[in-house]
Structure formats: C-alpha cells, structure tokens
Amino acid sequence: MDILAVLYNKFLYRPYVRRRLQHAGHGFRLGYSSEFLQPELFQIGKNFFTGPHCYFDTNQFSPVRIGDDVMFGPFCKLIGGNHDYSYTKGPLAENRFPRPHRKEIIIENGVWIGANAVILTGAQIGEGSVIGAMGLVNHFIPPYTVAVGVPAKRLFARFRDDKDLADILRNVGSHYTVEMVRAIQKQHGVEVERAR
C-alpha cells in the first residue's frame, strides 16, 4: 500500500469528489487510488464504501443512483453510457455522442459488489443483492439475490428462509415485503429453496 496515495485520497481527493457529487450522504468512503469522472452525475446515499483502485465514470445519458449502505470491493468499475454503433458517418471513434436515450444505472440499498466486478449501463441491482467477484451486470438483478458470472446470472436467493428474509427487511427498514421479494425473484427465475 502506498501511504502517499492513502493520504492524498483521504485528505484531498475524497473531499473534492464528495463536494462535486450531485448528492452524497454521510459516511462517504472512497478507497485509495480510486477515480470518479463526472461526479455531478452520481447520487450516492449514506455509508458508501469502496475498496482501492475503483473507477466510476458515466455521461448525461446514463446517470447513476446508488442507495445507502452500498459496498464495492477493490478494482471495481462502474461505466455508464454506450456509443451508437449504428453510426455511419465514419469510424465509431469520430462519433462524439453516445446513444441519445437515457438509461440510468440504479444500485439500491445494502448491495455488496465483489472485487473486480463491472457495472454497465442498464444495470439495476435490487436491494440487498450480492454481485460476485468479477461479475458483469448490465441488466436487472432482483432484490436479495446472489448473482455471479459474465454476464452475472441470478443464481440464488440470498435468504432461502422467509423468516430470515422478513428479519432483514424489518431490520433495514425496507419498502419491500417478503411476498414482493419472492414474487420478483420467481418472475426472474431465481432459485429459492424453502427451509425444511
């Protein structure tokens, strides 16, 4: 660990980024050697945490909303905005404008994103979900679901017992009910084994 990078991050870069964010709740912690481009397009809730070497960038067509108590492991990337690959006036590198339709990146409360994961335009990660290390998300992940792989597959429910799910929903003050979570998970093919 580079002590100068840690001190620079803590006393200069982190406060600078926090001031430029569209919104940042208390407890904003950005890992050393991490980078935020266009922070004014990010809304971030309270108790945000990243490990070191993370990269966050987007554009006006893909603003980012991150809820409370969200954690990113080291070396994660969040990249918003896709280029229009139907561009015909020359090489894609000459097209300076991304696709004109707006598509937010949404990460709800209590999400944990594992090391080296990549979050792209179109990602909507439900409350309390876990994205496994090196996962890639550009689609919807239901609440309280563990997803892994490239692209991340909605593998299984984080809580297989409805009592445990009810406990966490109550403890975090969720707007979801057990029935809502189970219905969304079922709709998206998430495996749920009932406790015996």
Domains recognised in the chain with CATH numbers: 3-158 (2.160.10.10)
- pLDDT of 24: 96
Please give the Cα distance from 168 to 160 (Å, whole number).
Answer: 12
Please give the Cα distance from 82 to 70 (Å, whole number).
Answer: 24
Say how far residue 131 (Cα) sits from the centre of its chain. Answer: 9
First to last CA, the chain: 47
Q: DSSP 3-state assignment of 125?
A: strand
Tell me the per-residue pLDDT of 141-195, one tens digit each, with 9 for 90 and over. 999 999 999 999 988 999 989 999 999 999 999 999 999 999 999 999 998 865 4
Tell me the per-residue pLDDT of 100-155, one tens digit each, with 9 for 90 and over. 678 999 999 999 999 999 999 999 999 999 999 999 999 999 999 999 999 999 88
Q: Mean of the per-residue pLDDT values for the chain?
A: 93
Q: Per the residue annotation, which of 23, 83, 101, 139 is the catalytic one?
A: 83
User: The tokens 């057990």 sit on which residue?
Assistant: 178
- pLDDT of 101: 76
Rounded to 5 degrees, φ, ψ at 5 are -65, -40
CA distances from 165 to 106, 145, 148, 181 (A): 22, 11, 20, 9
Active site residue 26: no
- pLDDT of 78: 98
Question: What whole-number percentage of the chain has pLDDT above 70?
Answer: 97
Residues 6+ apart with CB under 8 A from 96: none
